[in-house]
A and B are shown apart, each in its own frame.
Chain A
Amino acid sequence: MLIERYKLKLNRYTSLSKVGVLAFLFSLTIGLSAWTYYEDPIPTGSFQLVYPANFGNRINVPADNPTTKQGVYLGRLLFYETALSAGNKLSCSSCHRQEKAFTDGKALSEGVDHVLSTRNSMSLANLLWTRKFFWDGRAASLEEQAATPLSNPHEMGQSLTISAQKLSRIQSYPALFKLVYGDTLINGDRIVKAIAQFERTLISANSRYDQYLRNAYQPNELEQKGMALFNQFPQPEKGIRGANCAHCHGGAKTYMELFHNNGLDSIPKDEGIETLTGLPADRGRFKVPTLRNIALTAPYMHDGRFKTMEEVIDHYSDHIKQSASLSSFLQGESNEIGGTSLKLLPEEKKELIAFLNMLTDSTFISNPAFSNPRLRIASNK
């Protein structure tokens, strides 16, 4: 019975024309679904940067590079574009990986020439509020910052002029640059502007600490004790214990744009800001980085010398190195009368770590809007 019905069906569809129609419909369906995926209209218009009120509005967007949806779209492509490096192997994302809050997990990073960078790859989060970039604060805008790793021979190693020429030869880019800038011209200025636009959208505002600040999370006892230590400066003569982290890492963003000598070395190998200013008071002075996602951004310090948060806390607790340029707030700051470093107890260190873990924003590191757009296409194929 079954076989007979099958034969009948087969007979019905033996006509060539009907097979043709089916094949056409099939390919049309597949074709259209692929087309709608790849040719999603690129969003255009002003980009709304959304952030909590307690981050404040002291944001840094240059007048000549307003954030647009199409600019962010292009910037994201460029952030993950290996054609921007000599040898086409590295992109910005090589040293700024989303799953590590846009760091690379290495003390120093290898460039196209296999030479290591001189300083640790910095986390990219809430750059919208940053006014001085790099460990020494020497760049005044993200645009200016982006140009350096792109062309530094020990990083991506390719001049912006060559990058522009290479992009001009990749089919999709001239039209995208036209959409963003009004014409198909591709140059270094336009490349860094688009990358900067994308980077400004990397807003992290949903850690458990953010949730706590908007009354949506109740910290456990360990976290509460850690938070209290974090915010309190030590006054041993009054019996008040503290770690005073908030002096430099305070506020909702845990970033205050300060530059300090934090007692890593008495005679630093890397002289930090002194290299720029020639002033001995700037010796060993570096940016105080954001603590946002700190649990994801090891190793720590400008040279990546500390592998764990425990080592960092041990440094402030027990190993501050004295020097003339040691920042004043670290001089004689201690939980012991006459002490030269914080002298925290083992349980206090654990409490601080519990609080620091509250600063991890898992929605930030999994936000599809920040991921490699090409990987997304590949995984959907």
Chain B
Amino acid sequence: MKKISLITALAFLSLLPLLTIAQSQQAAVKITGEVATPLTINNEDLQKFNQTTVVRKDRDGKDHTYSGVPVADLLQKAGVTMGPELKGENLTKYLLVDASDGYQVTFALAELDKSYTDRVIILANQVDGKPLLPADGPFRIIVQDEKKPARCIKQVVSFKIAFAK
């Protein structure tokens, strides 16, 4: 018995360096461009924001509950011109979302701002109470009520705010 626990302990110890390597790289979302403060948001950071949920159908045709943070809140934190500042030339700004597979989609800032719309667009990190699958996450945009899922971009790695030129 002792021998077995010793072997287990040794096996665990030998795995430790691997675990630390695995933890050294962590997925995160970078927020850059027309911002006051560039931010990098990881899973832990995301917990510090007010959480919200959006229910939408996935490809299986069933409703799923996604939880995360409204994109507008993340942009506000980075000092993007949201809320009262979203007027005039700031209405020509857009958010470009990049995924790790190279896929990109854009949203006009006004699409994200609750003074313009009740539709919520979140950066989700969980589906039905569980972390997103590696091929979908760890971060995914979920657009409430949008008919096509094409802007529910998976594996999000960056937000860039820019002026339309």
Q: Is A281 a contact partner of B102 (Cβ separation < 8 A)?
A: no
Considering only residues 104-135 of chain B, those with a C-beta below 8 Å from chain A are: 133-135
In contact, B25 and A278 (Cβ under 8 angstroms): yes
- The smallest C-beta distance from A86 to any residue of chain B, in angstroms, reads 34
| A326 near B100: Cβ-Cβ < 8 Å | no
Q: Count of chain A residues with Cβ under 8 Å from any Cβ of B? A: 21
A157 at the B interface (CB under 8 A): no
Q: How far is the CA of A257 from the CA of B101 in the complex (A)?
A: 9
A258 in the interface, Cβ–Cβ < 8 Å? yes
Interface contact A280-B22, CB-CB below 8 Å: yes
Interface residues of A in 318-337 (CB under 8 A from B): 324-328, 331
Interface string of A84-122 (1 = CB under 8 A from B): 000000000000000000000000000000000000000
Q: Closest approach, in angstroms, between the C-beta of B28 and any C-beta of chain A?
A: 10
Interface size on B, residues (CB 8 A): 14
Q: Is A277 an interface residue (CB 8 A)?
A: yes
Bound complex: CA of A223 vs CA of B101, how far in Å? 30
Interface residues of B in 42-100 (CB under 8 A from A): 100
B24 part of interface (Cβ distance < 8 Å): yes
Q: Is the CB of B102 within 8 A of A132?
A: yes
Flag if A259 contacts B135 (CB, 8 Å): no
Residues of chain A with a CB closer than 8 A to B102's CB:
132, 137, 256-259
Which residue of chain A has its CB nearest to the CB of B135?
A328
Q: With A258-B101, A259-B100, A279-B100 in contact, is A325–B134 under 8 Å at CB?
A: yes
Interface pairs (30), CB distance under 8 Å: A132-B102, A256-B102, A257-B102, A258-B101, A258-B102, A258-B103, A259-B100, A260-B101, A273-B100, A277-B25, A277-B100, A278-B24, A279-B27, A279-B100, A280-B22, A280-B134, A281-B134, A281-B135, A281-B155, A282-B100, A285-B100, A285-B101, A324-B134, A324-B135, A325-B134, A326-B135, A328-B133, A328-B135, A328-B136, A328-B154
Residues of B near any A CB (own CB < 8 A): 22, 24-25, 27, 100-103, 133-136, 154-155
